Amino acid sequence: MSDKAVKKKKMKGLNSFVVMFVVMAFITFLTWIIPGGQYQLDEAGNAIAGTYSSLPATKQGLWDIIVAPIIGMVGNSAVSGAVAISLYVMLFGSFLEMMEETGVIGLVLKSVSKRFEKHPYILITVLTFIMAFLGTTQGSYEEGYVYVSLFLPIFLALGMDSITVLMISIFGTQIGCASSVINPFSTGIASDIAGISFGDGIIARLLIFFVLTGAVSFLICLYAKSVKANPERSIQFFRRTEDLKEFGSTSNEEDGKDTNKAMTGRERGLVLVFVMTFVIMVLALFPWTSINENFTIFQTIANWINTTPIINMVIGSDVVAFGDWYFIELCGLMLVMSILAGKIAGLSIDKIINVIMKGAGALISTALMVPMARGIQVLMTQGNITATILNATETSIGSLPSIIFVILAFVIYLVFACFLPSSTGLAGATIAVMVPLGSFVGIAPYIMIIIYNFALGIAKMFTPTSIIVMTCTQYAKVDYLSWVKAIWKQLVSVFVLCLAVILLLTMIS
């Protein structure tokens, strides 16, 4: 089946822009019926419980709805602009397009699959971690069926079924999204809306990544082992012969290519650029001095560059140390790495520029979602209703134990995510309200963002509004209800594990 055919078959979800305009219209309506108010703020800019006071209401109208996203992009005296993160989203798209143009990701997957094909459970674990890496760094989602097409011939030949392959691709990428260590489309945007650094909570997210991905790998291996030992246990056993006929030969064999061919120096260079980009991102966002105030080596290096004659003339005198990077610095990283990958691949400068423009253009809708989300904050701020809404819930929420609050927040987010499985859309519609509510019961903003990520990651494993679920199951000839029936036990296990992590983080914080 062609890629276009698969895409046509997927279930159409709610348009995120329509949702955002409806939310903005609703917020505008609220400014007409909710009185204004304000809280006293602490040094970090957070509302102090019990300090609410009334303010004159400032009603918003149609014109305010129109200009709210524009103000959200450029900012004003009350709300900071989102232009840096929007630009980063577009340049990240340029980087991904360059990786797609050079074929790095497919190259790595085929190489790994060939190396471990005689050790199927190691192969499952390695591929699941690779999928999770793609999810946690770039929010891998729509392209999931591409990985299914790569893995199906391998695992069918090893005596496993299509459900195993779907688990690796869907569970793998989405458990990565659930941790979203440096995913700009979820953690990045949500952190920006919450007013915290992209690096806040990165240690917790790193640990979560390995715990959740390891657990999911184990669950998939258990399922694969069961099916391999007794093929009739597979819900897709009735299609075993058809699957082998349809998916039983690899694309390389069909193309007459040598699957044992070693990577060239150019290909190894491209893989190195791909890996180093995300290594630098982690190093740059990691809050080094927050963990150990004496760990100032990166600050020392940056100061040396900025103050050393000739060096600062060549490199610059405003170099930002690792640990203090934000979206402006990340934009520069994406641009440099995209150009470097293009040059290693032997592309002309015109081709490199065209690829960068194409990738940036592909993510314009996502980039524009950021100021749309910020527009909600603009309307609430200009209408002076944020504090009033928080005050209305402070008494009831403040009396709830933090444990009960995070459980309710997790369930609420899971319900929302099933209907709006868009990281940017869900963040824009909820983070501005949920994070302040969490602060009233002592829940750190980064924990609320983890709860949001968990719910979104789990929802996109099974909801029919999930693009990756509908395209992957359609490609693999697996009925949607059969998919849900096959994975419900693993899904419950992931939910329980995520809930346990949330409770642990809450008790520790």
Concatenating the DSSP letter of every residue in 377-395 gives HHHHHHTT-HHHHHHHHHH
Asked if residue 354 is part of any domain, the answer here is no
Asked if residue 345 is part of any domain, the answer here is no
Residue 5 has pLDDT above 70, yes or no: no
| 3-state SS assignment for residue 36 | strand
Asked if residue 409 is part of any domain, the answer here is yes
What pLDDT shows up at residue 12? 47
**d(Cα 484, Cα 509) in Å, to the nearest integer?**
35
Asked if residue 341 is part of any domain, the answer here is no
Residue 1 has pLDDT above 60, yes or no: no
Contact indicator for 483, 469 with CB cutoff of 8 Å: yes
**d(Cα 453, Cα 431) in Å, to the nearest integer?**
11
What pLDDT shows up at residue 11? 42
Q: Write down the mean pLDDT value for the chain.
A: 86
**d(Cα 507, Cα 437) in Å, to the nearest integer?**
17
Structure tokens at 409: 């927040």
Kindly report, residue by residue over 231-275, the tens digit of the pLDDT: 999 999 999 899 888 886 544 444 444 555 677 888 889 989 988
Radius of gyration over alpha carbons of the chain, in Å? 24
Structure tokens at 53: 């006071």
Domain holding 149, by residue range, is 3-38+80-251+363-508
What pLDDT shows up at residue 398? 63
Contact indicator for 39, 390 with CB cutoff of 8 Å: yes
Kindly report, residue by residue over 370-403, the tens digit of the pLDDT: 788 788 878 988 898 877 876 776 666 667 899 9
**Lowest pLDDT segment from 43-52, 339-348, 357-366:** 43-52
Asked if residue 103 is part of any domain, the answer here is yes
Contact indicator for 400, 163 with CB cutoff of 8 Å: no
Distance linking the first and last C-alpha atoms of the chain: 50
Task: Say how many residues make up the chain.
Answer: 509
Q: Which residue type occupies 37? A: G
**Lowest pLDDT segment from 1-10, 132-141, 224-233:** 1-10
Q: How many CA atoms lie within 13 A of 291 on its CB side?
A: 13
**Could you give the number of structural domains in the chain?**
1
**d(Cα 182, Cα 86) in Å, to the nearest integer?**
16
Asked if residue 312 is part of any domain, the answer here is no
**d(Cα 28, Cα 444) in Å, to the nearest integer?**
28
- Report the run of H or E that residue 467 belongs to, with start and end: helix 467-475
- Ramachandran angles phi, psi of 261, nearest 5°: -65, 130
Q: Choose between 419 and 312: higher pLDDT.
A: 312
What pLDDT shows up at residue 444? 94
Asked if residue 204 is part of any domain, the answer here is yes
Q: Which of 114, 288, 278 is nearest to 209 (CA)?
A: 278
